[in-house]
Structure 1
Amino acid sequence: MTVEKQAPASESIMVVGGGISGLTTALEAAEVGYEVFLVEKNPYLGGRVAQLNQYFPKLCPPTCGLEINFRRIKDNPKIKVFTMADVEKVSGSPGNYEATIKLNPRYVNSNCTCCGECAKACQMEIANDFNFGMDRIKGAYLPHEMSFPARYVISSRIIGTEDAKRCKEACKYDAVDLDMEAKTVNLNVGSVVWATGWEPYDAHRIDNLGFGRHQNIITNMMMERLAAPNGPTQGKIIRPSDDKAPESVVFVQCAGSRDENHLPYCSYICCMASLKQATYIRAQYPDAKIYIFYIDLRAPGQRYEKFYNMIKQDENVFFIKGKVAEVSEDPDTKNITVVAENAVTGEKIHQTADMVVLATGMQPTAANAKLPADLKYNDDGFIINDYENGGMFASGCANKPADVVSSNQNATGMALKAIQTLVKR
């Protein structure tokens, strides 16, 4: 007796999240012939990788990996990209899902040439979220220099103001559309891959480490933006209080990670991020002293172990095994003193530095806002993949803490799982 295989109601795949995992998932599926809808909440693709100065394994700038992916997406008619889009609901079963997508207004249409005249005309400034609020941008802005799609955004905060009118009048290409409204799109897809990524843990919640109270305490992602050529200081690492070149920097590992009051798990890549950022400082300030306070150092894999060993050879980098208990600020110099107990010698250490960098943990986006679908989560907010039932899968850091290489490998696997869902039905 032969059994006929039932065709899925839809042979399309929806990928939610346009970071490195979402891009890889979408491209892997589309390049073997499947229709893919790529849904991203931001006005640009690239996710957290776009905010880095360099990333492992080759310490490349984001342009190195993202640029080719953007070209592949642009050239592939199988991929439909929705930016500034929120998934409001996903219902159905494997092979036949109904997804409701809300498209938020950009107030700039496809006529945009990125000439920048709207930004020149705009007078109001808003906090720059891409740089974690370390600088300000105009209310008409390009999110960053390699934004894809390459199109300006008019902030909703200036809609209805004279600034908005000035933006429209300045545009020679009729690209500014102040009458844009939110609209809803319904998609029928056979499988869904959630590549919703991660957020830096909110360092304000770690009371004893002083973030928000002391200006010269920053997070590791803020350091990435300081070191980036397109960052708030054009790549110059200077301390926030007075723009001074730092002569000493303390890195505080596991800031919020491996802590039952915050994130109980290890965020996998924070140790390597701090070692990488030590090279940023060293490149600009060869004589600066760098102090790394850690519980345990994690260098996952031979390549990372080699990198760690290289950093250990630097006579101006000091590793202290001890958990930082408190910080204080000198009101005159704005220098920061961290206090920790050396776990090896037992002595109490007071180390003063010009700047402190908190290696804040990696928290899944879904931990703060559950996704509008029937998904299972572990206690930390990471999505649990149900391979037996199939249909919906989590890719990259939506599933577990990971670096870029691991996220890409995982994303390729999730693309295959999504395809298998369509083939099996």
Structure 2
Amino acid sequence: MTVDKQAPASGSILVVGGGISGLTTALEAAEVGYEVFLVEKNPYLGGRVAQLNQYFPKLCPPTCGLEINFRRIKDNPNVKVLTLAEIEKVDGEPGNYEATIRLNPRYVNANCTCCGECASACQTEVPNDFNFGMDKIKGAYLPHEMAFPSRYVLSPRIIGTEDAKRCKEACKYDAIDLDMEPRTISLNVGSVVWATGWEPYDATRIDNLGFGRYQNIVTNMMVERLAAPNGPTQGKILRPSDDKAPESVVFVQCAGSRDENHLPYCSYICCMASLKQATYIRAQYPDAKIYIFYIDLRAPGQRYEKFYNKIKEDENVFFVKGKVAEVSEDPTTKKITVTAENTITGEKIHQEADLVVLATGMQPTAANTKLPANLRFSTDGFIVNDYDNGGMFGAGCANKPSDVVSANQNATGMALKAIQTLKK
């Protein structure tokens, strides 16, 4: 591993995480004249928003918001983007931080034209993490159709194999470099914004809800990918067991949330995500029956409340106030039966469905991956901002559960805080 020492970048800002919050922070600071280093662990920018089919408030596809931000980055020389990059350590004090960053090899250089010849030549398939493992992709791949930077990646799994050689031989532009190695760089910056985002809570840990045991139980983020035109089923929401159209769907709210054994807090947007996904199903299957089991429903703000009221008018959408206790599967039909007690009527309900969707909560990435810096965290892993001392700040869902609008507003504020640190 080689180590490069970068010249001190006085007055620079480091933004960790290239999701919607990180993009907003970086651009807000860069467009008023500050040098920004944007570091992202994935080979592309966009974060969780890139995985959505649509997002509030206008039910836009990801291209709607990300495309313009990518254009702004291309047009702004103040933003330096580092993908496949991980922060190893941040030391120092406000106005003078030393950040050590590991750059992992992409095995594809800037000559790449996205012609796809390397993927055609590659024979190995690997799980597609972008689609939560619901399909496979070639070992030479473009992460998704609007990936930024628009450049292919070779999976480390094929390096050293005949497939890697085939990919290199197929490339007409000398874009594949199989000799790339990890390297480490050091940056001197004045402030750091941690926009490290969130992860869907691991549904396999919720024993009573059957995820991982029964094929036709999926998570809310998996439904986003199923509904997306560039998803594993080209936008059709189908039962995983037999690829058939579901005639009935159950949404299980607070799957692991508001539970001392899992996530003790409310994730803010899960209720609205399920209501949004109900519209996906209703659009594809007008006769399908949808059952939403909930503890409480949260529609934060007038616009969301209006959306909720519109869904309630749908005669094929049924709301059941009750926490799901258990699920079971018919081994012949693969249908799932959800068992819950209706807390309003006291009736015990056994609802059968073709597909069950678990509304798993947001867990901050920092809860599972320790951030290598002197930061304060809540007991749930969210960054607690220390505005008095300043210097390093958590933005977006690294700070608290948020929807896209709230995350953007928060990120704009953190860009200002980062700038104020440089001014002190």
Map of 2:5 onto structure 1: none
Task: Please state whether the residue corresponding to 1:349 is helix, strand or coil.
Answer: strand
- Residue by residue over 1:216-238, the C-alpha shift from the partner in whole angstroms, topping out at 9 and shown as x without a partner, is 00000000000000000000110
> Would you say 1:293 and 2:293 are equivalent positions?
yes
Amino acid across the alignment from 2:152? Y
Shift of 1:369: 1.1
Task: Please state whether the residue corresponding to 1:279 is helix, strand or coil.
Answer: helix
> Would you say 1:334 and 2:334 are equivalent positions?
yes
- Asked whether the equivalents of residues 257 and 360 of structure 2 are also in contact (C-alpha less than 8 Å), the reply is yes
> Would you say 1:255 and 2:255 are equivalent positions?
yes
Map of 1:94 onto structure 2: 94
Task: Please state whether the residue corresponding to 1:319 is helix, strand or coil.
Answer: strand
Cα separation, 2, equivalents of 1:9 and 1:275: 46
- Asked whether the equivalents of residues 50 and 62 of structure 2 are also in contact (C-alpha less than 8 Å), the reply is yes
% identical aligned pairs: 87
Amino acid across the alignment from 1:112? C
Map of 1:56 onto structure 2: 56
- How many residue pairs match? The answer is 417
Shift of 1:396: 0.1
Q: Give the ranges of 4+ consecutive aligned residues of structure 1 lying more than 3 Å apart after TM superposition.
A: none
- Residue by residue over 1:63-96, the C-alpha shift from the partner in whole angstroms, topping out at 9 and shown as x without a partner, is 0000000000011000000000000000000000
Cα separation, 2, equivalents of 1:10 and 1:163: 44
Map of 1:367 onto structure 2: 367
Task: Please state whether the residue corresponding to 2:48 is helix, strand or coil.
Answer: helix
Amino acid across the alignment from 1:60? C
- Asked whether the equivalents of residues 127 and 137 of structure 1 are also in contact (C-alpha less than 8 Å), the reply is yes
- The alignment's TM-score, normalised by the length of structure 1, stands at 0.98
- In the TM superposition, 1:89-238 aligns within 5 A as 89-238=89-238
Shift of 1:329: 0.2
- Asked whether the equivalents of residues 9 and 187 of structure 2 are also in contact (C-alpha less than 8 Å), the reply is no
- Asked whether the equivalents of residues 334 and 354 of structure 1 are also in contact (C-alpha less than 8 Å), the reply is yes
Task: Please state whether the residue corresponding to 1:187 is helix, strand or coil.
Answer: strand
- Asked whether the equivalents of residues 196 and 365 of structure 1 are also in contact (C-alpha less than 8 Å), the reply is yes
- Asked whether the equivalents of residues 9 and 95 of structure 1 are also in contact (C-alpha less than 8 Å), the reply is no
Map of 2:40 onto structure 1: 40
- Residue by residue over 1:258-295, the C-alpha shift from the partner in whole angstroms, topping out at 9 and shown as x without a partner, is 00000000000000000000000000000000000000
Q: 1:9 to 1:136 in 2, by over 3 A?
A: closer
Cα separation, 2, equivalents of 1:229 and 1:158: 28
Shift of 1:10: 2.3
Task: Please state whether the residue corresponding to 1:293 is helix, strand or coil.
Answer: strand
- Asked whether the equivalents of residues 19 and 49 of structure 1 are also in contact (C-alpha less than 8 Å), the reply is yes
Cα separation, 2, equivalents of 1:237 and 1:357: 11
Cα separation, 1, equivalents of 2:121 and 2:9: 49
Cα separation, 1, equivalents of 2:387 and 2:203: 35
Long gaps (5+) in structure 1: 1-7
Shift of 1:97: 0.1
Task: Please state whether the residue corresponding to 1:379 is helix, strand or coil.
Answer: coil
Task: Please state whether the residue corresponding to 1:163 is helix, strand or coil.
Answer: helix
CA RMSD between the two structures: 0.7
Cα separation, 1, equivalents of 2:174 and 2:140: 15
Amino acid across the alignment from 1:286? P
Long gaps (5+) in structure 2: 1-7
Shift of 1:98: 0.1
> Would you say 1:70 and 2:70 are equivalent positions?
yes
Amino acid across the alignment from 1:87? I
- In the TM superposition, 1:302-313 aligns within 5 A as 302-313=302-313
Map of 1:18 onto structure 2: 18
- Asked whether the equivalents of residues 256 and 263 of structure 1 are also in contact (C-alpha less than 8 Å), the reply is yes
Map of 2:406 onto structure 1: 406
Task: Please state whether the residue corresponding to 2:319 is helix, strand or coil.
Answer: strand
Cα separation, 1, equivalents of 2:378 and 2:9: 30
Cα separation, 1, equivalents of 2:343 and 2:262: 22
Amino acid across the alignment from 1:422? L
Amino acid across the alignment from 2:128? N
Shift of 1:370: 1.3
Amino acid across the alignment from 1:387? Y
Cα separation, 2, equivalents of 1:66 and 1:137: 23
Cα separation, 2, equivalents of 1:348 and 1:202: 28
- Asked whether the equivalents of residues 9 and 96 of structure 1 are also in contact (C-alpha less than 8 Å), the reply is no
Map of 1:269 onto structure 2: 269
- The alignment's TM-score, normalised by the length of structure 2, stands at 0.98
